Structure 1
């Protein structure tokens, strides 16, 4: 099988999957991408085994991002750039299947007539208009454009759905975010967690960037997010951490992620300050109790999570973060927000713990229970790791996605698109 993956960034959701398809089944996997990402970073094995073609978009993205009324027009310009790249790099060497991220990350609208292979749409998320993701944080100042932005950002998603022959979403929550009329055409197939890397193991100590070493017996509470932002509840984490610190003066809070807002308008709350600094100041956090790692390599993150005594995931209802799955795979006791996408993964009291998102006192009480009586919660960490291995691990997900891709490829193009 010859598969062309299309995504704005590499490796993103497709890099590890393509490597596994190549390594396990001998598939030829090619990519059209604009950039290499830093979260996660591409491995040397990926760069060596996969054929990666860079798309040169002549238009620069404005500092601060594309203004929301121009999102759709900018996406169409990207579509033209990807069409040109396809003609120049793929040409007559046509793939058997095209797999593309169906949001802004995969400008495929102009490829359908050029490429005769079936197109599979990776349906990551469809933004609702209110009280979810961007508008769930009712405790923060609302952004004036919040009701309008989802319609603009969903426009490329809708056009990608129309341009594709099949679609899949990683979780049931993501599947159900799409309008009901499209759901019958979207299947659920998860990406796959590397449970050889993220697994329970003994990590006696961790050397921190500031020179400190976290040795045995020191309680470690972790938080991981691509960006330290309100959508992932970083400020809520800081508030809870302060309460935990008062009850456990020996606890250390290890944070992985960039001080960047990727989603939403946190500057409306901060007055222009970065959200990390604003959150620390707002809650009077003792910086000496925190270790900020920034973006880290997967091997470093895996060691940190294996050493973690408790992982906090105070996210709004949104795409479930890879960090949630990685922490569970590592055997962490995860305390997550009691919202739909987290409930899909965590079974309360069995594979993790849940608390109402805005109830900092409840979060702190549950966290202290775990830190004060770790033996009572060891079974939860073991059950979490087993659940990820059995349902979300690469050994389960890669064969499932292989079968799905082969099925779509054998079915061919859908008429009338």
Structure 2
């Protein structure tokens, strides 16, 4: 079949299914914005989005930009048709920026399968979860903005033939009317690449070499920010160091903001938290790496003695599942959708998101009694291999592309 894969950052989450389709002899065309990385072996069309300077009413910024993105993609598809490019049988899209809004107007006969990661709520999910100064507090303007953002999601839900969410909890956030349309399928983790390796080593910038068995505490996020609990982790770190005087903490992540907002009184959250707690830290035992190349990131996970993962009730990070696949001893916040994947005493050590002492206690258990948690490490990897591997993801995605609504009973949860 002819497949169009549409993702602003192509291939994004669709890397594994794109490769599978090509290997099976299907015709695949990728589409992504200018600067998207692309995927070897998959031809890709890149479009250039020039967003208009004035989006209109402040509540409607997201939907206005989405319409502009959708227009650019639709007209690119029209041009492809004029050039004789065969029409796709199936379109697999990430519609979150608006690119998929009008594809059915151009290609009404194609089956449109869209990925739905998150549906906004003004309360009860991420907004209002953190009542401290780092969190976003509910209010009318925010509620109106989020309701308006959801116009994009509602249009995408209405126009697609089938939807998919990575976890059951993320699916559950969408309006009940559309839930029968959304299946659960994680895109898949490469559990062959991301696996334990007792021979691996990680070299710190100062030349120190870390190996499996060393007291290495790891924390990873795309960016160091409250949505991923960076402020909680940093505030617990002085006590963690006090209880574990040999531990080396390696923190991976950039200084930008993926979710939420920047701090008002500092250039980034790393500087803000270091100003707050740095005087109580032994900074010779804290290493900020920035964002790492993938091979180095994998090596770090493979030498980790305890891996801390926190998140607001929000989208589950790939890094959490990749750490589990590497056999990390997970010390994680007991928040959705973490609790869907990790279970206390079975494949992880869980704590309340805001419990600094609980976090310090769990990390100390992990660092001082590593042999007691061998089974948790093994179970963490088994959880991902059996429920979140590439093979499972491909099977569920192929069912959706072929027109079979994937059963929720087949989901990893």
Q: TM-score, normalised by structure 2?
A: 0.90
Match of 2:210 in 1: 214
Give 1:69 shift: 3.8
Match of 1:171 in 2: 167
Give the 3 Å change call, closer, same or farther, for CA 86–126 of structure 1 in structure 2: same
Match of 2:61 in 1: 70
Q: 1:59 aligns with which of 26, 51, 57?
A: 51
Q: What is the alpha-carbon distance in structure 2 between the residues aligned to residue 5 and residue 264 of structure 1?
A: 28
Q: Structure 1 unaligned runs (5+)?
A: 410-417
> Any residues of structure 2 matched to 1:186-225 within 5 Å, and which?
186-215=182-211, 217-225=213-221
Q: What is the alpha-carbon distance in structure 2 between the residues aligned to residue 51 and residue 378 of structure 1?
A: 44
Which sits farther off after the overlay, 81-90 or 179-188? Answer: 81-90
Give 1:217 shift: 4.5
Match of 1:34 in 2: 33
Match of 2:408 in 1: none
Q: What is the alpha-carbon distance in structure 2 between the residues aligned to residue 212 and residue 153 of structure 1?
A: 47
Match of 1:132 in 2: 125
Q: What is the alpha-carbon distance in structure 1 between the residues aligned to residue 29 and residue 176 of structure 2?
A: 32
Secondary structure of 1:187's counterpart equals strand
Give 1:216 shift: 5.4
Give the 3 Å change call, closer, same or farther, for CA 216–188 of structure 1 in structure 2: closer
Deviations 1:93-144 (A, max 9, x none): 111100111322x422222121120111111110111142243211125456
Does the Cα contact within 8 Å between 2:210 and 2:303 map onto a contact in 1? no
> Any residues of structure 2 matched to 1:230-241 within 5 Å, and which?
230-241=226-237
Give the 3 Å change call, closer, same or farther, for CA 215–120 of structure 1 in structure 2: closer
> Any residues of structure 2 matched to 1:157-168 within 5 Å, and which?
157-168=153-164
Give the 3 Å change call, closer, same or farther, for CA 128–256 of structure 1 in structure 2: same
Give the 3 Å change call, closer, same or farther, for CA 377–317 of structure 1 in structure 2: same
Match of 2:409 in 1: none
Match of 2:410 in 1: none
Match of 1:414 in 2: none
1:290 aligns with 2:278: no
Q: What is the alpha-carbon distance in structure 2 between the residues aligned to residue 123 and residue 384 of structure 1?
A: 26
Match of 2:112 in 1: 119
Give 1:390 shift: 0.8
Give the 3 Å change call, closer, same or farther, for CA 279–68 of structure 1 in structure 2: farther
Give the 3 Å change call, closer, same or farther, for CA 125–252 of structure 1 in structure 2: same
Does the Cα contact within 8 Å between 1:319 and 1:341 map onto a contact in 2? yes
Match of 1:350 in 2: 346
Q: Structure 2 unaligned runs (5+)?
A: 406-413
Q: 1:321 aligns with which of 317, 324, 337?
A: 317
Give 1:246 shift: 0.8
Match of 1:281 in 2: 275
Give 1:36 shift: 4.4
Does the Cα contact within 8 Å between 1:171 and 1:188 map onto a contact in 2? yes
Give the 3 Å change call, closer, same or farther, for CA 236–36 of structure 1 in structure 2: farther
Does the Cα contact within 8 Å between 2:34 and 2:48 map onto a contact in 1? no
Which sits farther off after the overlay, 12-21 or 153-162? Answer: 12-21
Q: What is the alpha-carbon distance in structure 2 between the residues aligned to residue 373 and residue 223 of structure 1?
A: 19
Deviations 1:235-290 (A, max 9, x none): 111122221111112111112221111111242xx424311111122223443322
Give the 3 Å change call, closer, same or farther, for CA 17–287 of structure 1 in structure 2: farther
Match of 1:415 in 2: none
Q: TM-score, normalised by structure 1?
A: 0.89
Q: What is the alpha-carbon distance in structure 2 between the residues aligned to residue 146 and residue 252 of structure 1?
A: 40
Does the Cα contact within 8 Å between 2:16 and 2:394 map onto a contact in 1? no
Aligned residues: 395
Match of 1:377 in 2: 373
Give 1:168 shift: 1.0
Does the Cα contact within 8 Å between 1:205 and 1:214 map onto a contact in 2? yes
Give 1:88 shift: 2.4
Which sits farther off after the overlay, 148-157 or 372-381? Answer: 148-157
Q: What is the alpha-carbon distance in structure 1 between the residues aligned to residue 53 and residue 202 of structure 2?
A: 39
